[in-house]
């Protein structure tokens, strides 16, 4: 059974705490793994020499190996339902959007790729202009019975850190995320500081599920049901993590992007 995004984020937190205790990642019991778990554990596996126990499911084990071992090899991906973890940089932005469009059209029957290109572009701008990150990752997956999922992570200063640097007051990290989603700017004038407000409006008015984690703050929405959480210090997210599942292809094929962008 495919769990929701909040379930998989909690699985990541559990696994992260296990790494601290025994230095291992145990995937053996999973028959299915969401991209959330792989993209957030990618640094542990590749940069910290943390070993992982493969799932007993051969299909799931092959999926994990493909996602991890094909890092940044976008040009080698053809006719696939998922995109391996890659860096979202100016150099590979065009290739990334091209690959996403192919998956959308071939697997999800979506012709209106402008919506997704807009979202990827906004997230890229956030990373470039606000996160001050050294590393960022993106991955995507089409699920036949669920929809199309995109995950983006950067290890920068995060949404709360950006507000602090701009001397903008907030009571806790979840409020900082809420402020960003409501269009609070970290720049002078009317320019939005994160570009998340238009994305959020688009997501809430269509059939989507999304999660944003930054610092100790967590935002989760599903079918327009919105919740904010405040984690403890041990479960704080370095940088910003965003995952979105697009569920209804008919809505996105007829969607007018102009209604959601600032103009």
- Residue 170: pLDDT band (50, 70, 90) is very high
212/35 Cα distance (integer angstroms): 15
Q: Which residue, 99, 126, 91, 146, is CA-closest to 199? A: 126
Residue boundaries of the structural domains of the chain: 73-259
39/153 Cα distance (integer angstroms): 7
Low-confidence winner among 19-23, 106-110, 140-144, 170-174 (lowest mean pLDDT): 106-110
Token duo for residue 7? 């379930």
> Per residue in 107-119, pLDDT tens?
777 766 777 777 8
- Residue 236: pLDDT band (50, 70, 90) is very high
**Contact assessment for residue 158 and residue 215, using Cβ atoms and an 8 Å cutoff:** yes
Q: Is a pLDDT exceeding 90 seen at residue 100?
A: no
The answer to whether the pTM exceeds 0.85 is yes
Q: What percent of the chain has pLDDT over 70?
A: 87
Token duo for residue 115? 């919506």
What's the whole-number mean pLDDT along residues 182-193? 60
The larger pLDDT score, comparing residue 229 to residue 188, is at: 229
Q: Which residue, 223, 178, 183, 176, is CA-closest to 203? A: 223
What's the whole-number mean pLDDT along residues 84-101? 82
Low-confidence winner among 101-115, 159-173, 200-214 (lowest mean pLDDT): 101-115
33/41 Cα distance (integer angstroms): 12
> Per DSSP, what are the bridge partners of residue 139?
151
Question: Is 145 exposed, middle or buried (CB count within 10 Å of its CB: 0-12, 13-18, 19+)?
Answer: exposed
Contacts of 7 (CB under 8 A, 6+ apart): none
| Selection from 34-43, 65-74, 189-198 with the highest mean pLDDT | 34-43
Mean pLDDT of the chain: 83
> What is the side-by-side order of every strand in the sheet holding 136-143?
82-86, 136-143, 147-154, 237-246, 208-215, 217-222, 225-230
81/107 Cα distance (integer angstroms): 7
Which CATH number does 73-259 carry?
3.30.565.10
* Eight-state DSSP code of residue 142: E
What's the whole-number mean pLDDT along residues 20-49? 88
Q: What is the pLDDT of residue 15?
A: 93
**Contact assessment for residue 60 and residue 84, using Cβ atoms and an 8 Å cutoff:** no
């Amino acid at each position: 059974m495919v769990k929701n995004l909040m379930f998989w984020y909690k699985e990541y937190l559990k696994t992260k705490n296990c790494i601290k205790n025994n230095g291992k990642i145990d995937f053996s019991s999973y028959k299915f793994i969401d991209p959330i778990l792989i993209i957030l554990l990618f640094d542990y596996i590749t940069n910290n020499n943390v070993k992982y126990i493969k799932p007993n499911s051969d299909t799931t084990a092959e999926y994990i190996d493909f996602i991890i071992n094909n890092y940044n090899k976008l040009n080698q991906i053809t006719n696939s339902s998922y995109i391996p973890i890659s860096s979202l940089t100016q150099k590979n932005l065009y290739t990334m959007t091209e690959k996403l469009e192919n998956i959308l059209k071939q697997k999800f029957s979506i012709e209106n790729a402008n919506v997704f290109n807009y979202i990827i572009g906004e997230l890229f701008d956030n990373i470039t202009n606000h996160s001050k990150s050294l590393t960022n990752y993106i991955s995507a997956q089409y699920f036949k019975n669920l929809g199309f999922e995109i995950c983006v992570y950067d290890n920068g200063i995060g949404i709360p850190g950006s507000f602090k640097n701009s001397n903008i007051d907030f009571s806790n990290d979840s409020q900082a995320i809420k402020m960003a989603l409501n269009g609070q700017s970290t720049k002078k004038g009317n320019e939005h500081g994160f570009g998340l407000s238009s994305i959020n409006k688009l997501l809430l008015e269509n059939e989507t599920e999304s999660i944003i984690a930054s610092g100790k703050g967590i935002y989760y929405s599903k079918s327009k049901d919105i919740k904010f959480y405040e984690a403890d210090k041990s479960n704080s997210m370095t940088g910003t993590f965003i995952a979105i599942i697009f569920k209804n292809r008919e809505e996105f094929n007829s969607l007018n992007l102009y209604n959601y962008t600032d103009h």
